[in-house]
Amino acid sequence: MSRRLLSGHASVVAPRLLGSVLTVTGADGSVSVRITEVEAYGGVGEDPGSHAFRGKTSRNATMFDAPGSLYVYFTYGMHWCANVVVGLEGEAGAVLLRAGEVIEGIDLARVRRPKAIRDRDLARGPARLTVALGLDGSHDGVDVFNSSAVCLTLARRPIVPTIISPRTGVGGPGAQTPWRFALDDPTVSPYRPAAPRAHSPERRSVGKDAGL
């Protein structure tokens, strides 16, 4: 049933992930985060802001996997970002996990994020979220419904987003697509439009704040 709920279009599935809990277990313990902010990214030829817009590559291959796969990519030589693959297998789609509230393993999250002054900032932003959870490239392709390392528990009932806006840091033709969904929660990261800058052809529509 959980996998079936993720088989729709990214823009429909994304708000369904609000309130869901992602738990990551490693050698040093487990951390659970309640998702409070997400962004939807579409498929080939559909969404200029998506890694999959120009087709399948070695970097974005996981986006074409079955719904429930975890797509983890490295951006700007500094950060990991985590996404839940959605839609039909073979048709790329993903939901970027932008922010959440640490609800279990908070002591471990604090160790991983020592610069966070307040607990609300532990997973406030896509790069902070992956650090707090302990996610990195080794988790790319993991099935969140069939893994002891990464487990996604969907909210029992859909939660209506209180914030719907364009995606953070996405420029170009996809800049105004209103596919950012969030709750009215202090853990939600601030919205920032894409900063004007020169981009390589591969990344022309991807903004600096870890857009997908």
Q: 43, 21, 52: which is closest to 129 by C-alpha?
A: 21
Residue 29 has pLDDT above 90, yes or no: yes
Give the pLDDT confidence of 161-211 residue by residue, as tens digits: 999 999 999 999 999 999 999 999 999 998 888 876 554 444 433 333 444
pLDDT score of 211: 41
More confident residue, 27 or 212: 27
pLDDT score of 198: 52
Residue 113 has pLDDT above 70, yes or no: yes
pLDDT score of 77: 83
pLDDT score of 187: 98
Q: Specify the CATH number of the domain 2-203.
A: 3.10.300.10
Average pLDDT value for residue range 5-13: 97
Provide the b/e sequence for 151-174 (b: ≥16 CB within 10 Å): bbebeeeebebeeebbbbbbbeeb
d(CA 132, CA 127): 9
**CB neighbours (10 Å) of residue 184?**
9
pLDDT score of 197: 57
Phi, psi angles (nearest 5°) of residue 196: -60, 125
Query: Where do the domains of the chain lie?
Result: 2-203
Residue 59 has pLDDT above 50, yes or no: yes
Average pLDDT value for residue range 7-23: 97
pLDDT score of 186: 97
- What are the residue ranges of helices labelled H in the chain? 2-5, 10-13, 106-112, 126-133
Average pLDDT value for residue range 101-129: 98
Residue owning tokens 């609300």: 120
Give the pLDDT confidence of 136-172 residue by residue, as tens digits: 999 999 999 999 999 999 998 989 999 999 999 999 9
Mean pLDDT of the chain: 92
pLDDT score of 76: 78
